[in-house]
Amino acid sequence: MPRKFFVGGNWKCNGTQASIKELCNSLNKGDSVESSPVEVVCAPPAIYAQYAREHLRKDFQIGLQNCWIGKGGAYTGEIAADMIKDMNFHWVILGHSERRHIPELHESDDTIAKKVEYAQSVGLKVIACIGETLEEREAGRTQEVNERQLAAIAGKVKDWNGIVIAYEPVWAIGTGKVATPEQAQEVHSFLRTWLRNNVSAQVAENTRIIYGGSVNGKNCAELAKQSDIDGFLVGGASLKPEFLDIVGSFRSSL
């Protein structure tokens, strides 16, 4: 059975009640995807998650952008995976490059892996992000870096049915640069081969590997045609009506 196309919208630290309501109204105008071979998850800032759910179409799910490393407690400002689950949200984004590389955050491979493990333990599904910087790519370390990050996550995964791997080259996030379809496919193919050799053939075949990095309405169709690209994790364009065009790019993969 073919892998179901997956489109995530990461709204990052953006929005007000007014702008989110306007965005939801815009996205609500698109054709229903309820019976289509595509799954859509939008991740607003945590404080607006319930508000977005109340205003966004029901065939688009709402997820969270991050969670704490373990059970709740004396961790001021953090959100525990248990809380996300208690509010009946089912997805969380973990390991995004901004969490890894912004100096004030600087999450390690080990921290991200532990977050994945705990989030799964309470029943959340995870969009797990990996990707190399421009310096690492130019040094010929693309495979090395992505293998290291994926291996850390894979070592903690209990249920691969609840994992989507998001390959996001750091040099393409928010820069306007985008990996060519061939560049993206090359890394996605490498990741799938790694899963086959280090986890199982079944996991490799079934796990969705999505691409993120300046995806927009103009480049999504060509990217979606690649055999190992199973969808997208979208940043800036997820805040615009063209997000509907990206969702619709699943047709290019059929």
- Known catalytic membership, residue 96: yes
Q: How far apart are CA 137 and CA 246, in angstroms?
A: 26
Identity of the amino acid at 27: L
Distance CA 136, CA 129 (A): 16
Q: Indicate which residue of 39, 96, 98, 107 is catalytic.
A: 96
Cα→Cα distances 76→72, 80, 111, 174, 240, Å: 10, 11, 18, 30, 33
Q: What is the DSSP letter of 23?
A: H
Type and span of the H or E element at 211:
strand 208-211
Contact by Cβ (8 Å): 84, 67: yes
DSSP H or E stretch at residue 8? strand 5-10
Indicate if 168 belongs to the active site: yes
Token output for 242: 């063209």
Assigned token pair, 73: 């407690």
SS (H, E, C) 35-93: CCCEEEEEECCHHHHHHHHHHCCCCCEEEECCCCCCCCCCCCCCCCHHHHHHCCCCEEE
Q: Which of 98, 132, 168, 242 is catalytic?
A: 168
Catalytic site positions: 96, 168
